[in-house]
């Protein structure tokens, strides 16, 4: 089957991190590919009049407490390490430009894993250029090449274009997954995504 999962994400989204950790196994179970598509969540929110849960539900009694509990419950069920970043919200503009530059490079997965883990496993302040540099060096990534790229007009525009394209497809938050034209929002939709792929396998 030629189907694949497209994963639209921002490093600053804890639920994107959790989805990132389970999607590779899900894709392998279903025998499909997995493609990472960076989009700047702040740009998505601005274009769709959306807000982060921490803002949108700030005055809803118990809501944020439950959401935090649910994320930890998800992590426990899947055997994942997850800690809420003490510097949250983390400004991810430079990191997402780096993700755009990393697309198609042999070290793309290493970059993605390193940044997600730095934020959501190790609690690092990944909007500090010095911390970013240390993390990338630690993982053997091309630090100077990435640093130059994220300042280039081409990469800046590519991230804007990717974010606008995601919005045009119906994206309003992260994580968002697509199987063909079928959209699945949030890690809680992963069960439905897997069911969709199973149905496609049956009918193929």
* Average pLDDT rounded to a whole number, residues 39-68: 96
* Average pLDDT rounded to a whole number, residues 12-16: 98
| pLDDT tens readout for residues 74-129 | 999 999 999 999 999 999 999 999 999 999 999 999 999 999 999 999 999 999 99
Q: What is the pLDDT of residue 199?
A: 86
Backbone φ and ψ of 106, nearest 5°: -65, -15
Contacts of 194-199 with C-beta under 8 Å, sequence gap 24+, read 194/26, 194/29, 194/30, 197/3, 197/5, 197/30, 197/32, 198/30
Q: pLDDT band at residue 1, thresholds of 50, 70 and 90?
A: very low
Cis amide bond preceding 175, omega within 30 = yes
User: Is pLDDT at 157 greater than 50 in this prediction?
Assistant: yes
User: Is pLDDT at 202 greater than 60 in this prediction?
Assistant: no
Burial per residue of 37-66, b for 16 or more beta-carbon CB atoms within 10 angstroms, e otherwise: bbbbbbbbbeeeeeebbeeeeeeeeeeeee
Q: Which two tokens stand for residue 108?
A: 């793309």
The whole-angstrom separation of Cα 39 and Cα 4 is 18
Mean pLDDT across the chain, nearest whole number? 96
The whole-angstrom separation of Cα 72 and Cα 58 is 19
Residues 6+ positions from 132 with CB-CB distance below 8 Å: 94, 95, 126
Q: What is the pLDDT of residue 3?
A: 85
User: Is pLDDT at 204 greater than 70 in this prediction?
Assistant: no
> What is the pairing mode between strands 4-9 and 176-179?
antiparallel
Rg, the chain, Cα only: 17
- Please give the DSSP secondary-structure letter assigned to residue 90: P
Half-sphere CA count of 37, side-chain side, radius 13 A: 23
Q: Which two tokens stand for residue 156?
A: 């800046």
Find where tokens 């430009």 sit.
97
Q: What is the pLDDT of residue 200?
A: 80
Which domains, ranges and CATH numbers included, belong to the chain?
4-203 (3.40.30.10)
């Amino acid at each position: 089957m030629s189907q694949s999962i497209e994963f639209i994400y921002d490093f600053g989204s804890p639920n994107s991190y959790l989805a990132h950790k389970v999607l590779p196994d899900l894709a392998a179970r279903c025998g499909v590919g997995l493609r990472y598509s960076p989009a700047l969540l702040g740009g998505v929110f601005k274009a769709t009049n959306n807000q982060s849960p921490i803002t949108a539900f700030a005055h809803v009694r118990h809501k944020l407490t439950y959401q935090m509990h649910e994320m930890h419950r998800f992590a426990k069920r899947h055997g994942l390490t997850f800690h809420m970043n003490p510097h949250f919200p983390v400004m991810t503009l430079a990191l997402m430009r780096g993700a755009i530059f990393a697309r198609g490079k042999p070290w793309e997965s290493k970059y993605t894993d390193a940044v997600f883990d730095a934020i959501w496993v190790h609690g690092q302040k990944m909007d500090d250029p010095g911390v970013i540099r240390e993390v990338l060096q630690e993982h053997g990534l091309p630090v100077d090449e990435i640093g130059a790229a994220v300042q280039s007009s081409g990469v800046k525009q590519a991230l804007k274009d990717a974010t606008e394209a995601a919005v045009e497809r119906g994206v309003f938050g992260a994580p968002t997954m697509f199987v063909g034209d079928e959209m699945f929002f949030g890690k809680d939709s992963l069960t439905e995504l897997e069911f969709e792929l199973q149905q496609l396998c049956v009918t193929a």
